[in-house]
Amino acid sequence: MFACFAGDFRDMAGRISKIDVNNHGREQRDRGNQERPLAEGGLRFNRFHTTALCSPTRASLLSGRNHHNVNVGSVMEVATGFPGNLGIRPDNAKYFAETLRHNGYSTAAFGKWHETATWEVSVSGPYFRWPTNSGFDKFYGFIGGETNQWDPVIFDGVTKVAKKDDEDYHFTTDMTNEAIEWVKFQQAMTPEKPFFVYYATGATHAPHHAPKEWIEKYKGKFDSGWEQLRQETFARQKAMGVIPKNARLAPMPEDIKDWNKLSQDEKALFALQMETFAAFAGHTDHEVGRLVTAIEEIGELDNTLFIYVVGDNGSSAEGGLEGTYNELVHLNGIFDAETVESMLARADDWGGPNSFPHMSAAWAVATDAPFKWTKQMAADFGGTRNGMVMHWPNGFAAKGEIREQWHHVNDVAATVLEAAKLPHSKKINGVVQKPLDGVSMLYAARDKNAEDRHTTQYFEMFGNRAIYHDGWLARVVHRVPWQNAPLNTLQNDKWELYNTVEDFSLTQDLASQEPGKLKELQALFEKEAIANNVYPLDDRLYERFNAALAGRPDLMGDRKSLTLSRGMDGILENTFLNVKNRSKSIVADVNLVGGDSGVILTQGGKFGGWALYMKDGKPAYTYNWFGLERYTVESPNAIENEKAEIRLAFDYDGGGIGKGGTARLFVDGQKVAEGRVEKTVPSVFSADETADVGKDEATQVADKVFRDSQESEFTGNVKRVTISIKDVK
């Protein structure tokens, strides 16, 4: 039996107060459950590495190969036209789940996927790179990079399903319930048949959503600030033995403010952010414990190999230096839309269904101790080193020990295959497979003194890059995650050099003392980069959300219009017309019953989007700017006819991205309302909110009008609705 855990859950060796990788199931044990924690009964690897970003790490884990080698050089939403970054996983690098399935295993994936090209997530498919065509018999989760934990967009296989009717609903609990039910059912039906579970939570990726009672558990625990948390974590790591006694705490980046110089409002806001993040992590830990307990209850825990990767990158600094109530604002490159005061005014909602929050980058730095940098920073272990636990009582005798061998996420596949006594597949479905880039880690599990077998590894993300070889690391810090512009051009980047054996935390740059070693490693990076399709380096960020600028395929192609009708819903953003930064028109032919209400056509949700709808017979249009501002144009009169043509014309101002425009409403050719939309969303509405006809499926764009999807269902009939776009200079 095999279970791989991989999430954005980042907390190596106790970085959050009272939570550590030795804690899985602690909440249950406090209530009398005798569940065994994974780390205490297994091994902790303290030199395990990921790629610094989610999609690439997951592709590397599941394929056993370097991320550029499987065309996932970055996240799917910013794929480009260059080899290594195409976002199209090739047929000659199949996931190891395929090998397991072909050899008698039942296989299932739960939670976050984020491994399918953005233009392949519509009803038109193709479904080749969805989970159930990537080696998994069962999939239950969300297909994109993040989801609203309170109101997710969920797929079972390739079918979108409704959220369960539960007033205490949270997606991590839901996916865990599904995983437990599947494992127990599978073993009941075929107890002789082994299973493989890929369990990938959305935690602790933004939005940081946690039940209120969990947030309250951490009230006041971070009032002393990020420097203090960092020092306490550093001391605890040494006491636990997960970092060497001679390790030094790397300096914090210069942009991070001194906690003691903050205002009381700043301290209150930032403490709340960290309390929520800790609650999200603690709640996730609790859910993992439930799954462990379930496998123990069916008598398979000792026979199950657990590989728990505590995160798929470093802690995220994408909340910027002050954090955000709606992280989609920062995802669009806007950092001045919120203030400490405006965010603190919403403190009671922080982490709940009315928020979409992310913590300050300072907390990310603190929770990445003893390193300096964070997620996206492929040049630093703060972005790539993650705690990893391996638990398999029947597979190796050691338990409660630490393993210091250097490993990478591409080693997981080889590890599982060795444990299953299966060779790497040379062919799958007639296609010759690339060799694995990783090595099995079982040698280290069985011999703590064994010499390293993974001795060379490159890293690259948005121009941040590094090469590890035999204890040395050469690197380039090209772009800081919370800054819009890179530090240098790619041609003028400065290389640094570190002896990681002597300098665990990368604090002493030896480039000037060891120029020969630096030159040697630079040449090795060049070799690895060429072999893995890393070039050309592409340090663009927000531009790459635009498919045309990025050079990747677009399902809509050159089309300027799309005609839909009732029942056509759940259209993810990257498979819909790109209406951003341009003029648009919507023409809807509707049948009415009188006094009609409900959505005609919408895109996005309450944290950003637009909706054409009716309320009490009156047509209206609302543009929701990140849930911070809403612009509504509404007819003063109700429509009395049994059918009507309702038209919305939005004339974009032009002159750049994210600008405003004028919205005009027409009924049967007659203008009935006009108004201004002062700001628009420049790059992305959401990671998983959809475009819908006849209702607003998840959260409501016009959230001041409709409470939920049921209330937003159109009482009439949308016979036909056509949306058209026009470019504006």
Contact assessment for residue 380 and residue 473, using Cβ atoms and an 8 Å cutoff? no
Least confident interval from 24-38, 145-159, 369-383, 531-545: 24-38
- Strand stretches in 592-697, DSSP E: 598-605, 608-615, 618-625, 629-634, 643-652, 661-667, 670-677, 690-693
Same domain, 362 and 258: yes
> What pLDDT, on a 0 to 100 scale, did the predictor assign at position 626?
97
> What pLDDT, on a 0 to 100 scale, did the predictor assign at position 729?
76
What are the start-end ranges of the H helices in 21-156?
26-29, 54-63, 96-102
Contact assessment for residue 688 and residue 560, using Cβ atoms and an 8 Å cutoff? no
Q: DSSP labels for 226-239?
A: HHHHHHHHHHHHHH
Mean pLDDT of 655-665: 97
The DSSP symbol for 326 reads B
Q: How far apart are CA 665 and CA 650, in angstroms?
A: 9
Same domain, 421 and 474: no
DSSP-assigned beta bridge partners for residue 669: none
* pLDDT score of 26 more than 70: no
Q: For residues 33 and 160, which has the higher predicted lDDT (pLDDT)?
A: 160
* pLDDT score of 614 more than 80: yes
Q: How far apart are CA 323 and CA 394, in angstroms?
A: 45
Q: DSSP labels for 508-545?
A: ---TTT-HHHHHHHHHHHHHHHHHTT-PSP----GGGG
Mean pLDDT of 266-276: 98
Residue with tokens 């949270």: 170
CA nearest to 275, candidates 365, 332, 211, 369: 211
Share of the chain above pLDDT 70, in %: 95
Least confident interval from 162-166, 346-350, 451-455: 162-166
Same domain, 533 and 573: no
Per-residue tokens: 102 = 């072909």
- For 391-438, the three-class secondary structure string (H helix, E strand, C coil) is ECCCCCCCCCEEECCCEEHHHHHHHHHHHCCCCCCCEECCEECCCCCC
**C-alpha dihedral, 699 to 703 to 706 to 712, nearest 10°:** -40
Kindly state the helix (H) or strand (E) to which residue 287 belongs, with its residue range: helix 264-297
Same domain, 102 and 62: yes
Q: How far, in whole angstroms, is CA 421 from its chain's centroid?
A: 33
> What pLDDT, on a 0 to 100 scale, did the predictor assign at position 605?
97
Same domain, 463 and 439: no
Determine how β-strand 717-726 pairs with β-strand 431-432: unpaired
Same domain, 532 and 567: no
Number of domains in the chain: 3
Mean pLDDT of 248-255: 97
In-domain check, residue 551: no
Q: DSSP labels for 612-634?
A: EEEETTEEEEEEEETTTEEEEEE
> What pLDDT, on a 0 to 100 scale, did the predictor assign at position 10?
45
DSSP-assigned beta bridge partners for residue 629: 625
The mean predicted confidence, pLDDT, of the chain is 94
Same domain, 378 and 242: yes
Distances (CA, A) of 31 to 18, 25, 26, 122, 222: 16, 10, 9, 45, 25
The tally of CA atoms less than 13 A away on the side-chain side of residue 425 is 25
> What pLDDT, on a 0 to 100 scale, did the predictor assign at position 29?
32
Mean pLDDT of 494-516: 98
* pLDDT score of 490 more than 60: yes
pLDDT tens for residues 194-244?
A: 999 999 999 999 999 999 999 999 999 999 999 999 999 999 999 999 999
> What pLDDT, on a 0 to 100 scale, did the predictor assign at position 428?
95
pLDDT tens for residues 391-443?
A: 999 999 999 999 999 999 999 999 999 999 999 999 999 999 999 999 999 99
Is the peptide bond prior to 353 cis by the omega test (within 30 degrees of 0)?
A: no
Residue with tokens 């400065």: 494
> What pLDDT, on a 0 to 100 scale, did the predictor assign at position 485?
92
* pLDDT score of 669 more than 70: yes
Mean pLDDT of 666-690: 96
* pLDDT score of 8 more than 70: no
The domain that contains 474 carries what CATH number?
3.30.1120.10
> What pLDDT, on a 0 to 100 scale, did the predictor assign at position 5?
60
In-domain check, residue 74: yes
Examine the fold and report which residue of 544, 575, 593 is the final residue of a domain before the chain moves on. 544
Mean pLDDT of 304-309: 96
In-domain check, residue 320: yes
Same domain, 496 and 570: no
What is the number of other CB atoms lying within 10 angstroms of the CB of residue 399?
15
CA nearest to 259, candidates 228, 234, 235: 228
* pLDDT score of 22 more than 90: no
Report residue 6's pLDDT band, with 50, 70 and 90 as the boundaries.
Answer: low
Distances (CA, A) of 122 to 117, 640, 705: 11, 37, 29
What is the number of other CB atoms lying within 10 angstroms of the CB of residue 457?
23
> What pLDDT, on a 0 to 100 scale, did the predictor assign at position 646?
98
Same domain, 434 and 466: no
Report residue 13's pLDDT band, with 50, 70 and 90 as the boundaries.
Answer: very low
pLDDT tens for residues 693-713?
A: 999 999 999 999 999 999 999
Report residue 25's pLDDT band, with 50, 70 and 90 as the boundaries.
Answer: very low
> What pLDDT, on a 0 to 100 scale, did the predictor assign at position 542?
85
Q: Classify residue 569 by burial, with Cβ atoms within 10 Å: 0-12, 13-18, 19+.
A: buried
Same domain, 693 and 712: yes
Residue with tokens 């996005």: 604
Encoded amino acid at 140, one letter: Y
The radius of gyration computed from the CA coordinates of the chain, to the nearest angstrom, equals: 26
In-domain check, residue 390: no
328 Cβ contact list (under 8 Å, min separation 6): 356, 607, 608, 626, 684, 685, 686
Encoded amino acid at 87, one letter: G
Examine the fold and report which residue of 498, 521, 544 is the final residue of a domain before the chain moves on. 544
Backbone torsion region of residue 654, taken as left when φ is above 0, otherwise alpha when ψ lies between -120 and 50, otherwise beta? left
The domain that contains 53 carries what CATH number?
3.40.720.10
> What pLDDT, on a 0 to 100 scale, did the predictor assign at position 407?
98
Distances (CA, A) of 538 to 399, 411, 440, 466, 684: 43, 26, 32, 15, 20
> What pLDDT, on a 0 to 100 scale, did the predictor assign at position 242?
96
Report residue 27's pLDDT band, with 50, 70 and 90 as the boundaries.
Answer: very low
pLDDT tens for residues 316-332?
A: 999 999 999 999 999 99
Show the domain range for 721: 556-726
Q: What is the strand order of the sheet 717-726 is part of?
A: 561-564, 717-726, 583-591, 643-652, 661-667, 670-677
Report residue 541's pLDDT band, with 50, 70 and 90 as the boundaries.
Answer: confident
Q: How far apart are CA 667 and CA 670, in angstroms?
A: 5
Report residue 688's pLDDT band, with 50, 70 and 90 as the boundaries.
Answer: confident
> What pLDDT, on a 0 to 100 scale, did the predictor assign at position 12?
31
CA nearest to 65, candidates 596, 496, 425, 511: 425
CA nearest to 513, candidates 527, 499, 528, 494: 499
The tally of CA atoms less than 13 A away on the side-chain side of residue 680 is 26
Q: How far apart are CA 286 and CA 162, in angstroms?
A: 25
Same domain, 301 and 190: yes
In-domain check, residue 510: yes
Is the peptide bond prior to 536 cis by the omega test (within 30 degrees of 0)?
A: yes
> What pLDDT, on a 0 to 100 scale, did the predictor assign at position 14?
30
Q: How far apart are CA 696 and CA 369, in angstroms?
A: 43
The domain that contains 686 carries what CATH number?
2.60.120.200
Same domain, 274 and 399: yes
Torsions phi, psi of 523, nearest 5? -65, -35
Mean pLDDT of 602-621: 98
In-domain check, residue 451: no
> What pLDDT, on a 0 to 100 scale, did the predictor assign at position 328?
96
Mean pLDDT of 288-309: 95
